[in-house]
Structure 1
Amino acid sequence: MAISKATFVNHLCMTCLYILIISLQRCQATDILTKDSPISLDQTLVSSNQIFELGFFGPGNSSNRYLGIWFKNFPPRKFIWVANRQNPLSADTNASLTIGNDGNLRILDADQKTVWSTSIKVQFNETIAKLTDAGNFALNDTISRLTLWESFDYPGNSLLPGMRLGTTGKDLITSWKSDDDPTRGDFAVGLSGDQPPQAFTWRGSKAYWRGGPWDGGKFIGIPEQEGGYSNQMTLMPQNSLGGAYLTIGLYSSSDIRWLYLRPDGVLQLNYMDGDHNVWDYSWEAPANPCDVYKVCGAFGICTNTRSPICDCLRGFVPQSDDEWSKGNWTRGCVRRTEILCAKNDSSLASVKTQPDVFQVVRGIKLPDHYEYYPYMDTDDCRSWCLGNCSCKAYAFVEGIHCMVWTQDLIDIQQFSFGGENLFLRLAYEESGDDKKGQAVAISLTAIGGVLVLGGFMFCLYRWKTYKKGKNTKLNHINSEDQILSGDMLQEDDLTKETFELPIYKFEQIIVATDNFSYRNKLGEGGFGAVYKGMLDPGQQIAVKRLSGHSGQGIEEFKNEILLISKLQHRNLVKLLGCCFEGKERLLIYEYMKNKSLDTFLFDPKKRRQLDWTTRFNIIRGIGRGLIYLHRDSSLRIIHRDLKCSNILLDEKMNPKISDFGLARTFQLTQELANTRRIVGTYGYMSPEYAMRGVISEKSDVFSYGVMLLEIISGKRNTEFIRHEQIYPLGHAWKSWNEGRGIELMDESLVESTCLTDCLRCIHVGLLCVQDLAEDRPTMTEVVSMLCSETVLPEPKVPLFTLQRLSDTNIGEKFKNMCSINAATMSMMEGR
């Protein structure tokens, strides 16, 4: 039967359409695995934004096949997770990944035998698996909507943002045996069980590299790491027994960085170099022979820039001169002179003795095997060590406090920058202070004249420098006279603003701070160090010297100058001037005698100085400062980085808000803004800002609420509440809701007559940390609530913070409503 031309064309079009639809279905990538859609050796899952891909692969020249995850569009392939590391498949096997009848993920070989399985108990057997843009492969229950299993809980050789690095077992990252073999290799990276924990690489059961203890923002044995800023690391308590785990956050959605453990034991921080479209790394360890654990033995110190690299600490000599001269340093060093307390009574009676001394060793990686006493200050730490003969050294580290060593000092490295100071116990004879002996006396006499002459010349030089600084006329920023190039300010950078601010010469600041001497150093943050100084008229100042590698550039410097120079309020720190010469960028502030609020609030002894009157004055002062920023100043400003370390205290303990480098100006009629650059500090960010980049004055209200609860409780917002296994914001609401608000108060406040006022402050603090911005009061309303006796609304359940609850009904109820990864902060550029 003949077919008409029209019918033939119609059939042809339908056939082509059908083929096109089938082709599109086959080509369309999916991120979901269901029972009805297993994947075979030649199929993959792709995350929704084409970042990660999951499927079967053959590493290098291997003929085996593994199920793994890799970055999709970043050649060469970097595999960040492997399921069947210990059970490979043959290349010619008709294998598949499927969801079994029991709801578990399974890898099946050609004989339909299970090679690998998630092996968990599934209640409803209705599950799907999804590959996320974070690189997490998760098995989800479609009935309860709970995540039953996820690859993030079983890291391989990589740690991605959102993963946990812990102390044992599956919380470690482990190397491949070789580039062609994903089987577990010789090396593992994790945290030690010390308090505070350290980062370690182990080779088998032996330490291979050590990153030093955690000080609250960084591992102090990694000088390249800037506290809490560059690597966005967060250490979280894991359980009531004292465990902990580490997470890293995303720099940004376009700047993914991840830790990778090579088969040879080198740990790298990898990133994609977009300019050259190649994988590169920004840090690695061990990077030199001194990074290898205990390379110089006991009481030895390693310096990579000298040869030989090993030397004995002062007062110590090689245990074996012969071995040491041959480059075998493993046996280390021993004391040259016995310390006083180790001598017997007869020897003490026969000679005149001097007490032991402490010799400072600067800028080092502190030794391993320490004990720490978080409630001791520097003086107590020194006294404890001096009074215990077993104490060989001590150190006082910001964020850790007192550290002491009673065992041999091992794994010490001299850094070219950064590092900590160790106070080493020595016999008096080793201190260099023993001036007895004729030779010493003659030497002192011979060089005395030289010293006097040298001292005179030095004083003359300093006097001339001082006079030169004194006579330097202060310049002022105006609209026409600024010139810089490269990293420096350009002429147009400040000309758009009309204001006046003194510009100091760099040599003036050199004189004022005694050349940025260590004894004048007040502290150090993500932007750089702060130094105490004295200007010519006797005015004390604080100088913030922006670090060249702080990650903060000219924009933040300009932002602080442009904003704070226009603000005048008794609860805002006063900017006195600035300096920029070459690549030097300095901000000069009024000096605040009592430093920052956190130095008092979180110190067990200094906290006692903060009675209720003082704390309430601080609470109200910060509130008044924020009202000025939000409503009363000529500019409407959102601070974006409110925290206790950015609240400075003057000699009368009055608070002043500081650090406006991240502040954002608003139009007077503007309520909200969005940003793709999320900056600030973990723990103080409001949910809408942390998750979606939405900024408003309510963002500062949330941060203020966190600080208010910290001031009342005396505890950091990230501090673990052990007996409840929750964190302070969740604990605060839970205690308040159960009528136990008094438990949140600092012990020193419970006995005072301020109980009602304290409970009211807690109530207001909980209103400030509401999840939804519209549920939070304005700062004007907050201060009014604090200073009146009006009836307050009840705070709502804070779901965003209750996601951190562990082993509670509330935590289970809302577990699926909040992203687990949100706890580690994605798209964040914190400090």
Structure 2
Amino acid sequence: MRFSNHANLFFVLFILCFYVLDVCIAIDSITSSQSIKDPETLRSKDGNFTLGFFTPQNSTNRYVGIWWKSQSTVIWVANRNQALNDSSGIVTISEDGNLVVLNGQKQVIWSTNVSKILSNTSSEFSDSGKLVLMETTTGNILWDSFQQPSDTLLPGMKLSTNTRTNKKIELTSWKSPSNPSIGSFSSGVVQRRDILEVFIWNETRPYWRSGPWDGGVFTGIPTMSTYLNGFKGGDDGEGNIDIYYTVPSELDFVIYMLNSKGQYEQKLWDAEKSEMGIRWTSKESDCDVYGMCGPFTICNAQSKPICSCLKGFEPRNEEEWNGKNWTGGCVRRTPLKCERVRDQNTSTNAKEDEFFKLQMVKVPDFSEGSPVETDICRNQCLENCSCVAYSHDEKIGCMSWTGNLLDIQQFSEGGLDLHLRVAYSELDKGSKKKIIITTAVIVATVIMVTGGYFMWRTSNPPVRKGKNDAFIEFNNGGTPEHESHSVIEELSQVKLHELLLFDFKMAAAATDNFHLSNKLGQGGFGPVYKGQLEDGQEIAVKRLSRASGQGLEEFMNEIVVISKLQHRNLVKLFGCCVEGDEKMLIYEYMPNKSLDVFIFDPSKCKLLDWRKRSNIIEGIARGLLYLHRDSRLKIIHRDLKASNILLDEELNPKISDFGMARIFGGTQDQVNTSRVVGTYGYMSPEYAMEGLFSEKSDVFSFGVLVLEIVSGRRSSGFYGNVHALGLLGFAWTQWKEGNALSLIDPELYDPIHHRDILRCIHIALLCVQELSVDRPTMATVISMLSNDFVLPAPSQSTFIQRQKMLNSTSSEETQRFRSINVVSVTEIQGR
């Protein structure tokens, strides 16, 4: 009797175990005999994707969906418009072979709805997250979830439009975070006249636009990286216009989700936090909303108000415009020449229309594309009276516009150049005004200098120059007055309307006559003083020392270069002063001085935690990318170092000191020079040893700077007990030995940010590799900093050993000035 009871108990437990296993173990396929009952699941083979039942936040309804890793990242919903009210749902293969969702009453609430299925079917997952319905015997795919997406674009999933059948594959938003039914917003691909773009629509109205696709990225999204965000697609030859993206194998999972507010969110899987983090959103300001300012306007999020009329245009309705109702847009102020000829039906001798260039913009909607060169593109537009603007990009080709110019946005980086057609008089008026102002300033300056010179000659008759002559000659061999005239002549080449000319009295008054208490630092250029103008504006005055090894050439170079630049991570030049012997540059004042003051000071370094240092590293990188790729000019800084990184009141970095910078021509990638300038410890090997410099020279300096920021050590110091390695050698040794923690500044280290800090060290070592071709570009560096994909292994720089010898000969570093602008100049004959 006792044995019988034990046997019965064992049998019951055995049956219960099988029941529990059947419920808890996810099946790998769905067939007519193998269903999923709530809460069972279907898993992809790699275990990343799951099909099952879920309940959204703040809801009691049940839905069948697919999620990545956890239910917090639902990427597809089957019965999104017809919820289950309880947990009695079933996913199965119906008698007609379709995949269906049934409620507790066995009613079909969702189906794949494939007609005329002739054989047995089953449903499975692929590792890409695609749910398929296929014929069991042949394996032919009858339906897949990528053809009927919800709100999420996955790697390999296509948005498409068939030009023959008008069939579209589009994303549709949820109504709300708690309701996955189809919302107001949808997104798909549009191709007009060979120009492909992605749109978001609010019902039927455009809400957001990506800008033209250049074969890799969308030009209306300035932060896109070809490596990370590169999109593929086009016309497949069968009438399908599609766009899709893939992810490098070493990169974690990336998706684009259209949220219920009509905004794309780029999300990247964070393995440490086990959640998806938002890295980009399509709406960062009101300017991202389609047509925010109306036709013939430009929207700039950094301006107040954000909307302004294009050159040569004025508000259509002044009253509405002043009331910040910009939807009416603007109208042309002066008719084009061809319009006047057509309206008057007579010939005219008026000058031809011209083009006004808008730089770094999202070009307007409704462009027409043609594969012609820049000059032909311009001429085609000029010869067509209806053409109001054109743009040319090497990858896209020629784009032109004949209607209203709508949805133009100003960027601080990226974008394209747009050439706006305006009547010649519109440009003429502006240029005449500029000429008058420029001429007046130059003439007044010449008169002042000439008058002062004659007054000086009258009171100080010339004497024969001897060994102790009172005249001070500059390095270029000219006398002060001759050099002053030369400077004025050079300055006339700079856009003076963008640069103020300060007189000496104003600069002296602002700095309390250059009082020692206002002295901020001392560099190779000369002293730098803090000043305050009469209107309260704080300034920094860099005063050229007559004893400086750097003279007129560097002074003029800095004015010419920086007066043409504008970026939040570049220091702003307010103006200059040129009077007799005096040459000064007037900058915006940076209250926190320079980066070296913080990272190399035992007490001040504590003020820079990892978040602040990370922000500084990223800001420097963005400033360099602007110089190399996104500014009007391609500029190589050549003297990037900690003392040339200024910090504003919020510790945001600004690159300064462009005295050594070089402007590259449009086709130049590398230049050889016999005059090597800069600071040892930051110079790339090809530059220091051979006089070759390129944008990769700045990348090398950036890598050194990152190591300094992370370690709190100077690049010129010696570290290690045995070999007295420089910072690069020490960093490489510690990295190779798996002891990178010893490189990190103890005041900086935080276990929470351990991975990010090590990643920065890794990126820095990639930047200081021996061969310039092995170093990443600044665009790639920013992708590496912003995203969590796997980085390639760095190679050892053989320059590490050479640098030890160079450092020992550098007299510059023995001075170790700490100032807001320290410039080091060394001349070497390049091989």
TM-score normalized by the length of structure 1: 0.56
Out of 263, 276, 291, which is 1:266 matched to? 263
Q: How does 1:375-390 map to 2 (within 5 A)?
A: 376-390=372-386
Name the CA distance, whole Å, in 2 between partners of 1:441 and 1:505.
31
**SS, match of residue 369 in structure 1:** coil
> Is 2:49 the partner of 1:24?
no
For structure 1, list consecutive stretches of 5 or more residues without a partner in the other structure.
469-482, 490-503, 523-530, 540-556, 567-572, 587-656, 664-675, 681-831
Out of 331, 334, 353, which is 1:334 matched to? 331
1:713-753 C-alpha deviation (Å, 9 max, x unpaired): xxxxxxxxxxxxxxxxxxxxxxxxxxxxxxxxxxxxxxxxx
> Is 2:536 the partner of 1:404?
no
Q: How does 1:125-524 map to 2 (within 5 A)?
A: 125-167=119-161, 170-194=168-192, 195-226=194-225, 228-241=226-239, 243-252=240-249, 255-344=252-341, 353-374=350-371, 376-432=372-428, 443=437, 445-449=439-443, 455-456=488-489, 458=491, 463-464=553-554, 506-507=638-639, 515=661, 517=663, 520-522=665-667
1:647-678 C-alpha deviation (Å, 9 max, x unpaired): xxxxxxxxxx9955599xxxxxxxxxxxx989
What residue identity is the alignment partner of 1:25? D
Name the CA distance, whole Å, in 2 between partners of 1:244 and 1:658.
39
1:169 Cα deviation (Å)?
5.3
**SS, match of residue 387 in structure 2:** coil
8 Å CA contact 2:23–2:40 kept in 1: the answer is no
Q: How does 1:497-646 map to 2 (within 5 A)?
A: 506-507=638-639, 515=661, 517=663, 520-522=665-667, 531-532=668-669, 534-536=671-673, 578-579=697-698, 583=702
1:48 Cα deviation (Å)?
3.0
Compared with structure 1, are the counterparts of its residues 660 and 574 closer, same or farther at alpha carbon in structure 2 (3 Å cutoff)? Answer: farther
* Aligned residue number for residue 82 of structure 1: 77
What residue identity is the alignment partner of 1:386? L
1:67 Cα deviation (Å)?
1.6
Name the CA distance, whole Å, in 2 between partners of 1:576 and 1:404.
33
What residue identity is the alignment partner of 1:416? S
**SS, match of residue 338 in structure 2:** helix
Which stretch of structure 1 is more off in the superposition, 196-205 or 34-43?
34-43
**SS, match of residue 90 in structure 1:** coil
1:88 Cα deviation (Å)?
2.6
Name the CA distance, whole Å, in 2 between partners of 1:579 and 1:312.
38
**SS, match of residue 122 in structure 2:** strand
Name the CA distance, whole Å, in 2 between partners of 1:378 and 1:28.
63
1:250 Cα deviation (Å)?
2.8
Compared with structure 1, are the counterparts of its residues 177 and 512 closer, same or farther at alpha carbon in structure 2 (3 Å cutoff)? Answer: closer
Name the CA distance, whole Å, in 1 between partners of 2:434 and 2:177.
62
Compared with structure 1, are the counterparts of its residues 584 and 323 closer, same or farther at alpha carbon in structure 2 (3 Å cutoff)? Answer: farther
8 Å CA contact 1:32–1:130 kept in 2: the answer is yes
Compared with structure 1, are the counterparts of its residues 160 and 505 closer, same or farther at alpha carbon in structure 2 (3 Å cutoff)? Answer: closer
Compared with structure 1, are the counterparts of its residues 88 and 565 closer, same or farther at alpha carbon in structure 2 (3 Å cutoff)? Answer: farther
1:431 Cα deviation (Å)?
0.8
Q: How does 1:65-104 map to 2 (within 5 A)?
A: 65-73=62-70, 77-91=72-86, 94-104=88-98
8 Å CA contact 2:250–2:790 kept in 1: the answer is no
1:525-578 C-alpha deviation (Å, 9 max, x unpaired): xxxxxx545443599xxxxxxxxxxxxxxxxx99x989x999xxxxxx999994
Name the CA distance, whole Å, in 2 between partners of 1:423 and 1:279.
41
> Is 2:57 the partner of 1:60?
yes
8 Å CA contact 2:638–2:660 kept in 1: the answer is no
1:266 Cα deviation (Å)?
1.2
1:615-674 C-alpha deviation (Å, 9 max, x unpaired): xxxxxxxxxxxxxxxxxxxxxxxxxxxxxxxxxxxxxxxxxx9955599xxxxxxxxxxx
Q: Give 1 or 2 for the bigger CA radius of gyration.
A: 2
8 Å CA contact 1:80–1:158 kept in 2: the answer is yes
1:779-822 C-alpha deviation (Å, 9 max, x unpaired): xxxxxxxxxxxxxxxxxxxxxxxxxxxxxxxxxxxxxxxxxxxx
1:369-388 C-alpha deviation (Å, 9 max, x unpaired): 111111x1011011111111
What residue identity is the alignment partner of 1:97? V
Among all aligned residue pairs of Structure 1 and Structure 2, give the percentage whose two residues are the same amino acid. 32
1:170 Cα deviation (Å)?
4.9
* Aligned residue number for residue 626 of structure 1: none
1:129 Cα deviation (Å)?
1.0
What residue identity is the alignment partner of 2:78? A
1:440 Cα deviation (Å)?
8.3
8 Å CA contact 2:75–2:150 kept in 1: the answer is yes
8 Å CA contact 1:297–1:330 kept in 2: the answer is yes
1:467 Cα deviation (Å)?
11
TM-score normalized by the length of structure 2: 0.56
1:445 Cα deviation (Å)?
4.5
Which stretch of structure 1 is more off in the superposition, 267-276 or 574-583?
574-583
Compared with structure 1, are the counterparts of its residues 142 and 390 closer, same or farther at alpha carbon in structure 2 (3 Å cutoff)? Answer: same
1:679-737 C-alpha deviation (Å, 9 max, x unpaired): 99xxxxxxxxxxxxxxxxxxxxxxxxxxxxxxxxxxxxxxxxxxxxxxxxxxxxxxxxx
Name the CA distance, whole Å, in 2 between partners of 1:397 and 1:431.
24
What residue identity is the alignment partner of 1:207? P
Compared with structure 1, are the counterparts of its residues 580 and 283 closer, same or farther at alpha carbon in structure 2 (3 Å cutoff)? Answer: closer
Q: Please report the RMSD computed on the Cα atoms of aligned residues, expressed in angstroms.
A: 4.4
8 Å CA contact 2:671–2:693 kept in 1: the answer is no
Compared with structure 1, are the counterparts of its residues 24 and 450 closer, same or farther at alpha carbon in structure 2 (3 Å cutoff)? Answer: farther
Name the CA distance, whole Å, in 1 between partners of 2:400 and 2:557.
45
Name the CA distance, whole Å, in 1 between partners of 2:688 and 2:790.
24
Name the CA distance, whole Å, in 2 between partners of 1:110 and 1:279.
34
8 Å CA contact 2:268–2:279 kept in 1: the answer is yes
Name the CA distance, whole Å, in 2 between partners of 1:15 and 1:565.
82
1:359 Cα deviation (Å)?
0.9
8 Å CA contact 1:395–1:403 kept in 2: the answer is yes
Name the CA distance, whole Å, in 1 between partners of 2:339 and 2:775.
54
Name the CA distance, whole Å, in 2 between partners of 1:532 and 1:176.
48
1:145-184 C-alpha deviation (Å, 9 max, x unpaired): 2222111111001111121112365510001122222221
Name the CA distance, whole Å, in 1 between partners of 2:267 and 2:101.
30
8 Å CA contact 2:442–2:488 kept in 1: the answer is no
1:122 Cα deviation (Å)?
5.8
Q: How does 1:727-766 map to 2 (within 5 A)?
A: none
8 Å CA contact 2:670–2:693 kept in 1: the answer is no
Which stretch of structure 1 is more off in the superposition, 290-299 or 250-259?
250-259
1:111 Cα deviation (Å)?
3.1
